[in-house]
Amino acid sequence: AMQDSDDPVLLVMPSDHVITDISAFQAAIQKGMALAESDMLVTFGITPNAPETGYGYIQYGTALHEPGTFRIARFVEKPDLATAQNYLEEGSYLWNSGMFMMRASIWLAAIDTCRRDILEACRTAWQSGSIDGDFHRIDKTTFAACPSDSIDYAVMETLSARPDMLPPGAIIPLSAGWSDIGAWDALWRTLQKDESGNVVRGDVLLHACHDTLAFSEHRLVACIGVENVVIVETSDAVLVAHQDKTQEVKHIVDILKQRNRPEIRSHRKIYRPWGWYDSVDRGERFQVKRIVVNPGAALSLQMHHHRAEHWIVVKGTAQVTRADKTFLVSENESTYIPLGTPHRLENPGRVPLEMIEVQSGSYLGEDDIVRFEDKYGRKEN
């Protein structure tokens, strides 16, 4: 937006929180808008109702001209229970919600003031990126070299410790039924439960279960005689954990990394500029995919050294280029792409094209692609 001479007000929020009092939240956002438009960097502090040790805190200072808004006095780390109780009794400490509001130009100025190295790394990654359909893909190597730090440490603490620095920071107390949903047990505490304390979503059957969270995205999940357990079924994996241990999923992630499991790199369902594909089944020397191509979109003209492909159209119409021939394949029809043959798949219609692809060969990795032409400018997968 800044490149188009625009300077919008940005509202930045975590993805894993709950707000139940929408009216109170909207009123706080209106206050924040007034401050952000006057070039302040605004954060929202949650009015605490308990001595919570799992959150960082922000102490507010002197009042600003806008009623119910204050200067930031200081940020503090997650406290022990006694310190958290003191914060609650003192009354000027708020939970750090991780929500911020500012003009784009003010945010860039704040990073430039506090962490120019981060700004320059991001700017270089953006300028070295490429357009990929509807995406702007930043340069991976440059961005990976960017220093890692949170907004609190990198910017907000520095600004609050140095009131003479610009831009100034402000905080707005917020009482809107806010809850951080940072783990599955926190989600269980937030959602409405049945008479046995269970929370279920999807195709789930329970028998003699208590205080259990069970989520199913695809398959039937049956639970018998379990208590205080979290079960989450997705297309990628199934998680089963005691509610007191859900934060320890990071140890499983470490094991996945050590074993170089494919789950750490991608989901079963992969999005591309032209649509997406879902790996339905895989075995020795074969793989089955469900492919959806958006209207007017096309895969690259490509070939494979190690696999052949069978395409079955289940919805829409496919335009297929195979070697020197181009032809249409309609619903309930199929075609075959021999190993080593240049080919392209396109959707010339106005509805999504849905296909089943069966790959067969000695190697089925996504890096077995030689691209001859690509409308999205890709050189990799």
What DSSP line would sit under 151-207, residue for residue?
HIIIIIHHHHH-TTSSSPEEEEEE-S-EEE--SHHHHHHHS---TTS-EEESSEEEE
pTM here is 0.67
Instruction: Grade residue 164 by pLDDT with cuts at 50, 70 and 90.
Output: low
Q: Please, which residues bridge with residue 87 across strands? A: none
In which element (H, E) is residue 67 found? none
Edge-first strand order for the sheet with 307-315 is 269-272, 275-283, 286-293, 353-361, 307-315, 334-337
Residue 378 has pLDDT above 70, yes or no: no
pLDDT of residue 333: 97
Q: How confident is the model at residue 17 (pLDDT cuts 50, 70, 90)?
A: confident
Helical H runs in 38-169? Answer: 81-90, 104-114, 116-127, 140-144, 151, 157-161
The encoded tokens of residue 347 equal 């959707």
Strand partners, 353: 293
Taking only the tens place, the pLDDT of each residue in 302-349 is: 999 999 999 999 999 999 999 999 999 999 999 999 999 999 999 999
Q: For the segment 88-106, what is each residue's pLDDT rounded down to a tens digit?
A: 999 999 999 989 999 999 9
Which pLDDT belongs to residue 2?
56
Confidence of residue 131 (pLDDT cuts 50, 70, 90): confident
Contact 167, 35 (CB under 8 A): no
Tens-place pLDDT, residues 243-293: 988 888 889 999 999 999 988 888 889 998 899 999 999 999 999 999 999
pLDDT class of 216 with cuts at 50, 70, 90? very high
Secondary structure, 3-state, 200-269: EECCEEEECCECCEEEECCCCEEEECCECEEEEECCCCEEEEEHHHHHHHHHHHHHHHHCCCHHHCCCCE
Q: How far apart are CA 334 and CA 310, in angstroms?
A: 7
Percent of the chain with pLDDT over 70: 95
pLDDT band at 233 (very low <50, low <70, confident <90, very high): very high
Cα-trace Rg, the chain: 26
State the DSSP H helix or E strand holding residue 23, giving kind and residue range, or none if neither: helix 22-37
Q: Cβ(52)–Cβ(94) under 8 Å?
A: no
The pLDDT score that the predictor gives to residue 5 is 65
355-375 burial by CB neighbour count: b if 16+ within 10 A, else e?
A: bebbbebeebeeebbeeeebe
- Report all structural domains of the chain as residue ranges with CATH numbers, in order of start: 2-180 (3.90.550.10), 184-249 (no CATH), 269-371 (2.60.120.10)
Distance CA 374, CA 365 (A): 19
In sequence order, the 6+-apart residues with CB closer than 8 A to the CB of 35 are 42, 64, 66, 69, 101, 170, 172
Q: Is 377 left (phi over 0), alpha (psi -120 to 50) or beta?
A: left
Q: pLDDT tier at 67 (50, 70, 90 boundaries)?
A: confident
Q: Are 239 and 231 in contact (CB under 8 A)?
A: yes
Q: How confident is the model at residue 172 (pLDDT cuts 50, 70, 90)?
A: very high
Q: Which pLDDT value is given to residue 264? A: 85
Strands of the 199-201 sheet, one edge to the other:
199-201, 213-216, 229-233, 238-242
Name the residue with tokens 């997968």: 381
Please, are residues 317 and 352 in contact by the beta-carbon 8 Å criterion?
Answer: no
| Distance between CA atoms of residues 310 and 318, nearest Å | 13
Find the length of the chain: 381
pLDDT of residue 207: 97
